[in-house]
Amino acid sequence: MKNRTLGEKTANELIRLIRERGYGTGEKLPNEYELSTLLGVSRNTVREAVRALASRNILDIRQGAGTFISQKNGVVDDPLGFSLMEDRRKLVEDLLQIRCIIEPQIAALAAQNATLQDVAILGDLCDEVETLIRSRQDFMQKDMDFHTQLANCSRNMVMSNLIPVICEGVMVFSSVVGEQEFDQTVKSHREIFEAVRGRRPSDAQQAMLFHLLYNRNRFIKGQDL
């Protein structure tokens, strides 16, 4: 086992510091000078450690603003290598299958565990998706944001780290489906949101399952044409 560099050791110490101090997603870390003092290393070493953690999506460096805990929770952008899979249609079908297994339960957990602030954010995203759909604009990013926030609402650390699978499912589906389904998306998202806000886990679970099965059936019919 090779010896770790000082930068690598400092990165691990910085992770420990983040955990001990309870820094949450989006929170700003102390500045470079303060971290240097806290960790007992030079500012250059702190800089190296911060860059290493940023490359792992643990930290987010914002020029002129500082260093923040990343929204991506340390998850790499393509952890399962989806971008390398050539058969996109098979990938869509398989992703929909997996989403049918995990996302209804995510919705149920969201209805049980979401905070008032979580629900407020989910509601805003639901509204934003509807606004884009009504004006027939591209809503894919906001659609992904809605499903991402739903996973965050579950308050389950493992569920939230499945977000890349969910987002890839949304993105790949949108790229291969012949025509977006506007009305059903609005209806399903609203039903999911209302069930989460109303603390109705079973209804949230069923609404999500219907949403996904509807998309799956629409996709399969499209392949038969």
Summarised one tens digit per residue, pLDDT across range 204-222 is 999 999 999 998 888 887 6
**What pLDDT, on a 0 to 100 scale, did the predictor assign at position 179?**
61
Q: What CATH number does the domain located at 82-224 have?
A: 1.20.120.530
Q: How confident is the model at residue 3 (pLDDT cuts 50, 70, 90)?
A: very low
Domain at 6-69: CATH architecture: Orthogonal Bundle (1.10)
The percentage of residues in the chain with a pLDDT greater than 70, rounded to a whole number, is 88
DSSP string, the chain: -PPPPHHHHHHHHHHHHHHHHTPPTTPBPP-HHHHHHHHTS-HHHHHHHHHHHHHTTSEEEETTTEEEE-TTTT--SSTT-GGG-S-HHHHHHHHHHHHHHHHHHHHHHHHHH--HHHHHHHHHHHHHHHHHHHTT---HHHHHHHHHHHHHHTT-HHHHTTHHHHHHHHHHHHHH-SS--HHHHHHHHHHHHHHHHTT-HHHHHHHHHHHHHHHHHHHHHHHH-
**What pLDDT, on a 0 to 100 scale, did the predictor assign at position 95?**
85
Structure-model confidence comparison of residues 63 and 150, the more confident one = 150
Summarised one tens digit per residue, pLDDT across range 142-152 is 998 999 899 99
Q: How confident is the model at residue 169 (pLDDT cuts 50, 70, 90)?
A: confident
Q: Break the chain into its structural domains and give their ranges.
A: 6-69, 82-224
The pLDDT mean for the chain works out to 86
**What pLDDT, on a 0 to 100 scale, did the predictor assign at position 138?**
84
pTM: 0.66
